[in-house]
């Protein structure tokens, strides 16, 4: 293979790898790099609750709060992991009633905003790693702006396969919420930097790769 063909092939592989990494990173299902705060951010906060309960109903609603310091010039990223097991395989985190996020600028006693509560976005599902006692796991994410004094999240577990009119099930669950404050000005600067640096290179790489492929095809046609 001539150098023009090799260059086209190498750039094509590089472009494919780049696009694949972007797709994987955007697909969700893994926590952000600040999860468990390895960087030691002072604005990182955590809330967790776990319990095993016997439920005599079709649903179970669990509430969890995370206390913060309100900052008008910052926004809050929220990430939540929900893990559970149940003696009824039909018990899951409800899709019809996804985790609902509310927040307060006065503290964890409320009042809560917005008036129409915001559902958290499902980021992915996973099987908890052994030796975890839990069978199922889901991750959710959200952004609040400006940063409030407290967040409250309600998670609804539902039995999708009730077997009796008087339904009941046992469930063990662990819910962990972590949040991190981001300064809005810094966030805007980062977005502008990405817009002015990454994408031109990505577009240039695309053009070079396509050009290499085109040259390779032209040379092959000329050779035949």
Asked if residue 147 has pLDDT above 60, the reply is yes
- Inform me whether the pLDDT recorded for 208 exceeds 60: no
Reported as a pLDDT band with limits 50, 70 and 90, residue 116 is: low
* Percent of the chain with pLDDT strictly greater than 90: 58
Second-level CATH architecture of 30-187:
Sandwich (2.60)
Q: What is the mean pLDDT of the chain?
A: 78
Burial 89-117 (b: 16+ CB within 10 A, else e): eebbbbeeebbbbbbbbeebeeebeeeee
Q: Please write the tens of the pLDDT for every residue from 169-207.
A: 999 999 999 999 998 754 443 343 334 334 444 444 445
Query: pLDDT digits over 1-27, tens only?
Result: 554 444 443 333 333 333 333 333 333
Q: What is the pTM of this model?
A: 0.70
Domain boundaries, the chain: 30-187
E strands within the chain? 45-55, 59-67, 74-86, 91-93, 100-104, 113-119, 121-126, 136-144, 150-159, 169-183
Q: 115 vs 178, which has greater pLDDT?
A: 178
Give the pLDDT band of residue 218 (cuts 50, 70, 90). low
């Amino acid at each position: 293979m001539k150098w023009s063909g090799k260059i086209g092939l190498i750039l094509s592989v590089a472009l494919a790898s780049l696009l694949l990494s972007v797709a994987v990173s955007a697909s969700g299902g893994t926590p952000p790099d600040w999860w468990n705060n390895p960087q030691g951010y002072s604005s990182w906060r955590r809330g967790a609750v776990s319990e095993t309960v016997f439920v005599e109903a079709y649903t179970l609603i669990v509430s969890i709060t995370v206390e913060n310091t309100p900052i008008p010039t910052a926004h809050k990223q929220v990430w939540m992991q929900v893990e559970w097991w149940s003696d009824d395989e039909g018990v899951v985190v409800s899709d019809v009633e996804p985790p609902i996020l509310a927040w307060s600028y006065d503290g964890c006693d409320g009042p809560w905003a917005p008036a129409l509560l915001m559902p958290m976005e499902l980021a992915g599902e996973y099987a908890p790693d052994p030796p975890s006692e839990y069978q199922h796991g889901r991750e959710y994410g959200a952004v609040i702006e400006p940063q409030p004094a407290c967040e409250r999240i309600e998670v609804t577990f539902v039995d999708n396969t009730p077997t009796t009119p008087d339904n009941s099930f046992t469930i063990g669950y662990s819910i962990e919420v972590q949040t991190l404050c981001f300064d809005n000005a810094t966030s805007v600067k980062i977005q502008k930097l990405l817009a002015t640096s990454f994408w031109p290179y990505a577009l240039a790489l695309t053009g070079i790769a396509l050009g290499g492929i085109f040259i390779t095809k032209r040379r092959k046609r000329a050779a035949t």
